[in-house]
Amino acid sequence: MALVALTAERLFTGETMLAGHALLIEDDTIADVVPIDRLPAGVGLSDLGAGTLAPGFIDAQVNGGGGILFNDTPDSDSLRQMALAHARHGTTAMLPTFITDTPAGMHAAIEAIKAAIAAGVPGIAGVHLEGPFLSVARKGAHDPALIRPMRADDIAAITGSGIATLLLTVAPETVPAATIAELAAAGVIVSIGHSDAAYELAVGAAEAGARGATHLFNAMAQLQGRKPGVVGAALDTGSLWAGIIPDGIHVHPASLRLALAAKRGPGRLFIVTDAMPTAGAPGDVFHLNGRKVTRANGRLTLEDGTIAGSDLTMDQAVAFTVAHLGVDLAEALRMASLYPAEFLRLDDRRGRLKRGLRADIVHLGPDLAAQATWIGGALVS
């Protein structure tokens, strides 16, 4: 296939912001990043004008979108519609998230993801199982009747799923350190969430192999002077990464600014949407495990007022991060691409615009809204 060259006002590689450069694409792969005056002979250049070319966004927590809720219809067609809805906002790789449900539902979700990956559904990079092995005390919008302990057959189903990128949110007071170690040794990416654990227990889970914390500040033991909780463990433990939902609803911007300043590395904070069916879709009502969820002024809540995910998209999240969290554009883009790629161990092929990596690309306008998205070199219509 012939080389294709793209340029824009700015080109962000995932590491460096460049001007006067072009991105060379061959088939589904990035062939090179070169100065415009050094383009290979005969290569046509498509100038996208104002804005920024950047690595496609990677969202590790996507419950739904485009009118689809993964829990309701765990099948390839629904996953394709979800992925397309989010691709229109710059997401080129996502983990559809299956929240607390029945054992049969969890098995159906695993099979749906396997089928979608086998069929090459663009944008499906793995799965996130958020529960049901959580704390009822920190249930959030999860149905407490479906939260349960982890059994031997659950471990077998998860470790034997055949899905290379499987993210599993657990509460360490429900899933002991020895089980976390077993899961991590099998390649499962374990994240601490929906947990009322003390700081020491959360740190113990990290030492056993937990790699992250799910939607920092939400549905977890908070940071207090004598009780650092899960929030304190996530910020103080260098090996832990943590997703944040930057929408001004889930967490106050001041809290997120403090967390960004406090986070000990090498683990970092990265952006997730926690999106629900309303993301990228009309309609203000849907049902979650039979319970009504309503959208009002951008906030999704159960009838008792509990926040139930978001209708956030990744381009909106990046724009909020720049506007309200004191983060420059380059770092916000890393939080939406490179850092989640590193957390999910996908950075050998995603998260940067670099020779040999997948041609997963977003063009953002000056207002940071996605103008065009390419997944594996193919323009998303």
- Whether the CB-CB separation of 70 and 85 falls below 8 Å is answered with no
- CA dist 297 and 119 (Å) reads 37
- Yes or no: say if 284 and 278 are a contact pair by the CB < 8 Å rule: yes
Query: How remote is the C-alpha of 82 from its chain's centroid?
Result: 14
Whether cis (ω within 30° of 0) applies to the bond prior to 132 is yes
Q: Which amino acid is at 9?
A: E
Cα→Cα distances 27→57, 58, 377, Å: 20, 21, 6
Indicate the angle between helix axes 103-118 and 152-159, nearest 10 degrees: 10
The dihedrals phi and psi of 122, each to the nearest 5 degrees, come to -60, 130
CA atoms of 274 and 98, how far apart (whole Å): 11
Q: Convert 236-247 to b/e letters by CB count within 10 Å (16 or more is b).
A: bbeebbbbbbbb
Distance CA 84, CA 213 (A): 27
Single out the residue of 63, 47, 49, 199 nearest to residue 130, CA to CA: 63
Catalytic residue among 32, 101, 247, 274: 274
The yes-or-no answer on residue 47 being catalytic is no
Catalytic residues: 274
